[in-house]
Each structure stands twice: as C-alpha cells, then as structure tokens.
Amino acid sequence: MSLTRRSVIATGLAAAAAPALSAAARNAGGGGGSNAAHFSLGYAPHEGSFASRGGLLEQIAFAADQGFRAWEDNEARKRPVAEQEAMARALSQRNMTMGVFVASMPKWADFRPVLGSNDDADRDAFLADIRTSIEVAKRLNARHMTVVTGFMDRKVPEAIQTGRIIDCMRRAGDIVAPHGLALVMEPLNTRTNHPGVFMQSIAQGYAVARGADSSGVKILADLYHEQIQSGNLIPTLEACWAEVGYIQFGDNPGRKEPGTGEINYANIVRWLRGRNYTGVIGMEHGNSLAGREGEERLIAAYRAIDRT
C-alpha cells in the first residue's frame, strides 16, 4: 500500500487523539471540571460539533472540558432572549469567548439582499438588522458579528455596486463602532456553495474594508471559501491582514475538520502564531464521521494542528 499524505495525516491524528479520547470518555455526559489542556489558539466549536453530548449548554460544557476556549453560533440572533442569556452565562462560567453570530441573515433562496442595487430598500433593511443586533451582541458578550454583503445585481456595473456597498458598510460601521463592536464581512465561494454573491474573496473584502475606513468593518477570513475561490491562503492573509478581524477554518473538499482535505492547517496555525493572533477561530465545518467517533476525531484533528 502506498503512503499517501492523507494516510500520514490520519496516523498523526490517531496519535494525537489519545489525550482527547481519554478526556471524552471521562466526560461522556458533558459538564464537570476541566480535564484536558487548553488549546493554544481560540478554536470555537458550535452547536452540533458535539451533538451526542446533549443540548446547547451541555455541548458548551463538554467543549470546555476538552480545552476549547471559544464558541460561535451563527443562529444566536434568532434564539429567545432567555436562551441567549443562558448561553452567555455558560460561556462566562467557563472563561470561554463568544465568537460571531450572524447580524443580518441573507435570504439565500431569494438571492437577497442586493446591497449594490439602485433601490435603497435592501440597504435600509440591512442597516435596521445591524441596529437591532447590538443588544444581542451585548447580551452574548460578543465583539464580532458576521455580515454578508449580499448578491450581485446584473443590471448595475460592478464598480457602482462596489461604491454603494462601501457606503452601506461605512454607515453600518458608524452604527456599531461606538459600542466597541465590529462587523466582519464574509467572502463566500461561488463555485460550490453560493453562486451570485457579491463578495467572493478576501482581497475583495480588503478593498471594501479600506473604503469603509471604519474600526467597525473588517473581514471574516473563512479559509474554506477562500481555498475554493482563490487559494494562495497565507500570502493573501499576509497582504490583507490589517483588515482581517476574524478567522474560520474548514477543509476542502467537503467542509469538514482539518486533515480531511487539501488545506495545510498546521502551516496556517504556525503562521497565525507568528502573527501573535489571539482572536477566535471559528470551526465553521461539519464532522467527517457521525456520532461520538466523529466528535473524537474532531478533537484529535485540532490537537494535531495545535501542536505544530
């Protein structure tokens, strides 16, 4: 049998898994005191990463016990206030940082909003969502909120759309910056997941962020999307770093944990350490295996890249 890159990675993951699997076995029900070393970077699972351990709060407890120091929740804005408050308490009790939630959810099936169009309606609705998300962010002790800059308008020149979106994001930044918050714009790939979106690369996000010129407007560098659309990850991060406010991982193809695809996340982690990055890294992906086996593999995958 030939020795492939994937078999080498799998062997490394298996070796790295032992401490994580031991901790997982002792905490099958979630909760309890910490019994695993903290990860060196702020990797953030989400609801569903550890689904076998129970509900949202049980999954947070289990993640903390495995050494994770952050959490993210795209759907947090839609949760009842009491649930938001319970999540914030659970994170605070475990000294975990809240990552992003989506401040203005796109209507994916309708290809809306179109923030660069000739009509102000979508821009006004977007800004209204931003205003109402401030209290959610405060309730969750979040500092970053995800936004998508909408879809392309095929009837309007791209340069005009860019100018309008810069203006819209500047207005949005003016809303959140006084509260110490930042909107992180997420570039999305059009080749696999999101055809028709306006912002398709970190470089494009950099241009909009520079134009908006606001501490409240930064880029969410989701490396899964960037690998599909553009590649060249580390040089791109290097060039755009001044405007990157948040990072998300996910391997390609498949959008699963590191080690399941082509991205060398060990090198990405090494580069982030060299940059003294102390922010959250969202685990914006699924598990490659179902159930507890998949959860254990997820932990092992992050142990493997975190030790490089």
Per-residue pLDDT of the chain (308 residues; tens, 9 = 90+): 333 333 434 444 444 444 443 443 344 344 444 457 999 999 999 999 999 999 999 999 999 999 999 999 999 999 999 999 999 999 999 999 999 999 999 999 999 999 999 999 999 999 999 999 999 999 999 999 999 999 999 999 999 999 999 999 999 999 999 999 999 999 999 999 999 999 999 999 999 999 999 999 999 999 999 999 999 999 999 999 999 999 999 999 999 999 999 999 999 999 999 999 999 999 999 999 999 999 999 999 999 999 87
Residue 207 is which amino acid? A
Q: Distance (Å, rounded) from C-alpha 272 to C-alpha 258? A: 15
pTM, to two decimals? 0.89
Measured distance CA(176)–CA(145) in Å, rounded: 10
Q: Side by side, which strands form the sheet with 102-104?
A: 42-44, 280-283, 244-249, 217-222, 182-185, 144-147, 102-104
Q: How far is CA 72 from CA 105, 123, 146, in A?
A: 15, 26, 11
Both tokens assigned to 57: 């709060």
The reported pLDDT for the residue numbered 1 is 39
Give the pLDDT confidence score for residue 100 in this predicted structure.
98
Within 8 A by CB and 6+ apart from 94, the residues are 60, 61, 64
Round the CA-based radius of gyration of the chain to a whole number and report it: 19
32, 36, 44 from 1: Cα distances, Å: 44, 35, 36
- Are 188 and 225 in contact by the 8 Å Cβ rule? The answer is yes
Q: 166: how many CB neighbours lie within 10 A of its CB?
A: 20
Side chain identity at 139, as an amino acid letter?
Answer: R
pLDDT of residue 35: 54
Q: Helix, strand, or coil here: 141?
A: coil
